[in-house]
């Protein structure tokens, strides 16, 4: 639901009375596991080509792979602490979007943030800091920074 970072759950878990917060957490953890699985594909290729004869890596790779799944679950579980209180937020979002279907007003809604400005600015600042720290990317940093600032300004102007 565009001006706010919000979404509506229309899945099977609504029938089992699973809260929308936990459904959002499950989606976030599933996306983390997808990224981890992509990493495992590359690790398997590395193991097949380079490290099959290394006895230490044969043992340690299982610990390393399981550790990634555990870290993803622990780190993304903190998502529940950043979700604001959901008592009045859906009504505020519905006031911003008055022309919605009737069934959307009765569906369970998860509002992550009413204002997405900080969610745009923070990743931009972090990515600029990372790009500035890399010596090979210093020549691209100025143009990259201009693109990010232009994107942030566009997002803020469109929001207001």
Q: Tens of pLDDT along 74-131?
A: 888 877 777 777 778 777 877 877 777 777 777 788 887 776 666 666 666 766 666 6
Same domain, 97 and 123: no
Q: Given a cut of 60, is residue 152 above it in pLDDT?
A: yes
Same domain, 108 and 122: no
Same domain, 143 and 102: no
**Residues 13, 18, 21, 25: is their CA dihedral positive or negative?**
negative
Same domain, 146 and 91: no
User: Which residue is listed with tokens 């780190």?
Assistant: 75
Last residue of a domain, one of 114, 130, 146: 114
Last residue of a domain, one of 99, 114, 129: 114
Q: Residue 33 — pLDDT band, cuts 50, 70, 90?
A: very high
Query: What average pLDDT score do residues 62-76 get?
Result: 89
CB atoms within 10 A of CB 110: 21
Same domain, 39 and 11: yes
Same domain, 76 and 38: yes
Domain with 130, as residue range(s), is 115-160
Residues contacting 124, CB < 8 A, separation 6+ = 148, 149, 151, 152
Q: Which helix or strand (DSSP H or E) is residue 5 part of?
A: strand 5-8
Query: What does R_g of the chain's alpha carbons equal in angstroms?
Result: 21
Model pTM?
0.63
Same domain, 42 and 53: yes
- Least confident range of 29-38, 69-78, 138-147: 138-147
Listed residue (97, 120, 115) closest to 1, CA to CA: 97
Chain centre distance of CA 73: 13
Q: What are phi and psi of 43, to 5 degrees?
A: -65, -40
Listed residue (92, 129, 123, 126) closest to 109, CA to CA: 92
Q: What's the token pair of residue 5?
A: 């970072």
Number of domain units in the chain: 2
């Amino acid at each position: 639901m565009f001006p706010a970072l919000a979404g509506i759950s229309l899945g099977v878990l609504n029938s089992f009375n699973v809260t929308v917060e936990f459904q959002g957490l499950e989606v976030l953890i599933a996306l983390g596991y997808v990224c981890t699985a992509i990493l495992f594909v590359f690790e398997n290729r590395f193991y097949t080509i380079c490290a099959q004869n290394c006895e230490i890596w044969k043992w340690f790779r299982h610990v390393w792979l399981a550790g990634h799944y555990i870290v993803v679950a622990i780190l993304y579980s903190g998502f529940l602490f950043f979700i604001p209180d959901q008592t009045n937020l859906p009504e505020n979002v519905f006031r911003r979007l008055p022309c919605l279907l009737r069934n959307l007003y009765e569906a369970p809604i998860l509002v992550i943030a009413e204002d997405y400005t900080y969610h745009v600015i923070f990743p931009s600042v972090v990515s600029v800091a990372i790009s500035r720290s890399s010596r090979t990317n210093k020549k691209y940093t100025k143009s990259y920074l201009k693109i990010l600032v232009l994107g942030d300004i566009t997002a803020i102007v469109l929001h207001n």
